[in-house]
C-alpha cells in the first residue's frame, strides 16, 4: 500500500509539471511568431475542454481499467502529447501551427483528465 501511495505522488508531480511547462513555452513561441494573444489563450484553453470530456468518460469506466496499465498508458501519452506540442514549432505557417497546437492541447487535456481522475479515485 505504501508503494502505491509513493507511485501516485510521483504521478501527480509529473502531471502538474506537465500541465505548467507548455504555458510558458507556447506563449513565447506564439509571441515570436507574431500570433495574437487571444489566439494563444484560445489554444491553451483547449486543454480544459479535452480534460472535461475525458474526465467524465474515464470516471464512468474506471472499474474496468487495470491500475498499473492505466498509469503506464497515461504517462506514455503525456510524453507523446508534449513532444507533439514541441514539434508543432517546426510548422512555418501560423494557421496550421494554431490548428496543430489546438489538436495537441485537446489530446493532452484528455490524458490529463484521465490521469487526474484515476489518481484522485485511488487516493479517496
CA distances from 28 to 23, 24, 32, 89 (A): 9, 6, 6, 11
Domains contained in the chain, number: 1
106 part of a folded domain = yes
Q: Quick one: pLDDT band at residue 116, thresholds 50, 70, 90?
A: confident
pLDDT tens-digit series, residues 17-53? 666 766 777 788 888 889 998 998 888 888 888 888 8
23 part of a folded domain = no
124: pLDDT strictly greater than 60: no
Cα 92-98-104 angle, rounded to 5 deg: 110
For 12, the domain range is 2-17+37-123
Q: On the CB side of 65, how many CA atoms lie within 13 Å of its CA?
A: 21
* CA 54 to chain CA mean position, Å: 11
Rounded Cα–Cα distance for residues 73 and 20 (Å): 20
Number of Cβ within a 10 Å radius of residue 76: 11
pLDDT at 29: 83
pLDDT tens-digit series, residues 45-95? 888 888 888 888 887 877 787 777 877 888 788 778 777 877 887 888 999
25 part of a folded domain = no
Amino acid at each position: 500500500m505504501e508503494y502505491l501511495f509513493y507511485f501516485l505522488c510521483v504521478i501527480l508531480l509529473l502531471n502538474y509539471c506537465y500541465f505548467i511547462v507548455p504555458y510558458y513555452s507556447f506563449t513565447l513561441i506564439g509571441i515570436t511568431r507574431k500570433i495574437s494573444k487571444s489566439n494563444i489563450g484560445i489554444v491553451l484553453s483547449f486543454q480544459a475542454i479535452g480534460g472535461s470530456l475525458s474526465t467524465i468518460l474515464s470516471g464512468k469506466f474506471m472499474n474496468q481499467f487495470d491500475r498499473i496499465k492505466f498509469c503506464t498508458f497515461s504517462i506514455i501519452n503525456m510524453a507523446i502529447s508534449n513532444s507533439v506540442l514541441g514539434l508543432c514549432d517546426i510548422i512555418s505557417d501560423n494557421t496550421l501551427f494554431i490548428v496543430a497546437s489546438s489538436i495537441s492541447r485537446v489530446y493532452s487535456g484528455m490524458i490529463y483528465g484521465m490521469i487526474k481522475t484515476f489518481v484522485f479515485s485511488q487516493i479517496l
